[in-house]
């Protein structure tokens, strides 16, 4: 599927470099890291490559909940891009892109960067919820912010005898999986916080009934209070204000609500969908700018697909191929996106359940072991950091 040209030498002549097509990859997300790996393994297009992202490290999303539960060290879900970039002779700029005028990118330090082919894999924006109470709100991403916020909350747990409360907002798969992982993380502690899950429409609303029942039972067994029927409209100094104006005390709030598009995209000329994500055709190419591609959570395909790491990873081979095809002016290929994908949802306690569309398998240790094997095999294919970091963040 990929170009079979060999990777170009690490140090090309500077003049050759400036004449070469310049591919700018924005974001070290799940798809771009896979693209770099594909180029390193199978041969890169005849182009200069630059990766722009705040960190060269990716945390594999499938293993995040189990890391929160304490089953994996942070280093076990980390994938490094440094070796791939070196092998490809690619440049890395450690910053955020904050603007794009259709031709040139603006970086957070004010510098401008032009690319002939530009690809966005920048994920979603953290929830804007509770920005006036930052000491209480913990974002679910990036991983570093989630773990720093939890550490801050945990520091307060053993300060006095007052029971602390932690609330997760969002009854979707991400919110439920995270809450079950937190329940496992705190299960053995004498100062275990009270855990509240606010799931306005219920646990995994719209999911198959057996999955909803199994997750509700797991939350109940883990001692999590599930609040349904009301959403959260705001925060005050003592906690949550629900949409019927009742107050729900909370010392720590994690908003695992629907994915938001990065706000700065609204100021670019890129065509976006109603939710602000970059509108692309099935080749992953922007509908408005033929030299722009997108992948992962930030893409809006012609038909909606779930925003999950599974789809981001599935786009790797098509994006890698199409960037190479764009360099040489060949016809692009299409991403065949299945309407549903298998999701293995962990229950915090080394059990998992499986769901694909309306089909599901009940929670079991065997499914956790399968998930564990798939996830470990995925990260093992990439460069890894040292594995001597502690298990919990």
Ligand X SMILES: Cc1cc2nc3c(=O)[nH]c(=O)nc-3n(C[C@H](O)[C@H](O)[C@H](O)COP(=O)(O)OP(=O)(O)OC[C@H]3O[C@@H](n4cnc5c(N)ncnc54)[C@H](O)[C@@H]3O)c2cc1C
Instruction: Take residue 167 and report the two structure tokens written for it.
Output: 């609330």
Cβ atoms of 126 and 214 within 8 Å: the answer is no
- Closest distance to ligand X from the beta carbon of 343 (Å): 7
Of 8 and 139, the one with the shorter C-beta distance to ligand X is: 139
Between CA 7 and CA 87 the distance in angstroms is: 8
What sign does the dihedral 205-315-343-308 (CA atoms) show?
negative
Neighbour order of strands in the sheet with 352-356 = 343-346, 352-356, 359-364
- Closest distance to ligand X from the beta carbon of 202 (Å): 19
Of 98 and 241, the one with the shorter C-beta distance to ligand X is: 98
What sign does the dihedral 114-120-121-124 (CA atoms) show?
positive
CB half-sphere exposure, 176, CA atoms < 13 A: 30
Of 11 and 377, the one with the shorter C-beta distance to ligand X is: 377
- Closest distance to ligand X from the beta carbon of 16 (Å): 27
Using DSSP, state whether 225 is helix, strand or coil: strand
Of 113 and 324, the one with the shorter C-beta distance to ligand X is: 113
Which helix (H) or strand (E) segment holds residue 108: the answer is: none
**What secondary structure letter does DSSP report for 281?**
-
Between CA 166 and CA 225 the distance in angstroms is: 11
Of 146 and 327, the one with the shorter C-beta distance to ligand X is: 146
- Closest distance to ligand X from the beta carbon of 201 (Å): 19
Q: How far is CA 286 from CA 75, 103, 170, 301, 325, in A?
A: 35, 13, 31, 10, 15
Neighbour order of strands in the sheet with 239-242 = 232-236, 239-242, 247-249
Of 8 and 84, the one with the shorter C-beta distance to ligand X is: 84
Of 8 and 66, the one with the shorter C-beta distance to ligand X is: 66
Q: Tell the burial category of 18 from Cβ atoms under 10 Å away from its Cβ (0-12, 13-18, 19+).
A: exposed
**What secondary structure letter does DSSP report for 285?**
B
- Closest distance to ligand X from the beta carbon of 237 (Å): 27
Cβ atoms of 317 and 38 within 8 Å: the answer is yes
Which helix (H) or strand (E) segment holds residue 206: the answer is: none
Residues forming the site for ligand X (CB under 6 A) = 26-31, 52-55, 61-62, 64-65, 96-97, 121-123, 140-142, 174, 177-178, 262, 296-298, 307-310, 312
> Closest residue (Cβ) to ligand X?
296
Nearest Cα to Cα of residue 93 among 142, 31, 39, 26: 26
- Closest distance to ligand X from the beta carbon of 329 (Å): 27
Of 8 and 294, the one with the shorter C-beta distance to ligand X is: 294
- Closest distance to ligand X from the beta carbon of 293 (Å): 13
Of 181 and 216, the one with the shorter C-beta distance to ligand X is: 181
- Closest distance to ligand X from the beta carbon of 176 (Å): 10
- Specify which residues 57 forms β-bridges with: 80
């Amino acid at each position: 599927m990929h170009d079979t040209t060999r990777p170009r030498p690490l140090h090309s002549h500077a003049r050759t470099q400036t004449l070469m097509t310049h591919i700018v990859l924005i974001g070290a997300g799940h798809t771009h890291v896979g693209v770099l790996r594909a180029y390193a393994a199978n041969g890169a297009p005849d182009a200069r490559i630059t990766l722009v992202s705040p960190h060269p490290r990716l945390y594999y999303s499938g293993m995040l909940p189990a890391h929160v539960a304490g089953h994996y060290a942070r280093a076990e879900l980390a994938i490094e891009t440094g070796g791939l970039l070196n092998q490809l002779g690619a440049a890395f700029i450690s910053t955020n892109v904050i603007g794009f005028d259709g031709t040139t990118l603006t970086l957070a330090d004010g510098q401008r960067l032009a690319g002939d082919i530009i690809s966005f894999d920048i994920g979603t924006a953290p929830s804007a919820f509770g920005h006036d109470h930052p000491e209480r709100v913990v974002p679910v991403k990036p991983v570093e912010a989630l773990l720093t916020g939890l550490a801050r909350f945990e520091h307060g747990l053993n300060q006095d005898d007052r029971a602390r409360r932690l609330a997760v907002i969002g009854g979707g798969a991400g919110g439920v999986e995270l809450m079950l992982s937190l329940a496992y993380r705190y299960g053995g502690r004498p100062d275990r916080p009270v855990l509240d899950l606010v799931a306005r429409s219920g646990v995994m609303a719209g999911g198959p009934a057996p999955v909803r029942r199994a997750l509700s039972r797991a939350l109940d067994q883990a001692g999590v209070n599930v609040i349904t029927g009301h959403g959260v409209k705001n925060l005050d100094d003592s906690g949550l204000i629900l949409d019927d104006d009742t107050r729900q005390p909370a010392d720590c709030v994690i908003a695992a609500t629907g994915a938001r598009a990065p706000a700065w995209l609204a100021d670019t000329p890129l065509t976006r969908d109603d939710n602000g994500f970059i509108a692309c055709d099935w080749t992953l190419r922007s509908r408005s700018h033929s030299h722009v591609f997108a992948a992962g959570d930030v893409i809006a395909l012609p038909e909606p697909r779930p925003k999950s790491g599974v789809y981001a990873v599935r786009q790797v081979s098509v994006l890698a191929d199409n960037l190479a095809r764009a360099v040489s002016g060949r016809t692009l290929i299409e991403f065949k996106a299945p309407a549903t994908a298998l999701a293995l949802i962990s229950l915090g306690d080394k059990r998992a359940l499986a769901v694909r569309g309306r089909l599901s398998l009940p929670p079991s240790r065997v499914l956790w072991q399968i998930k564990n094997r798939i996830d470990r095999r995925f990260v093992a294919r990439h460069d890894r950091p040292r594995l001597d970091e502690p298990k919990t963040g």
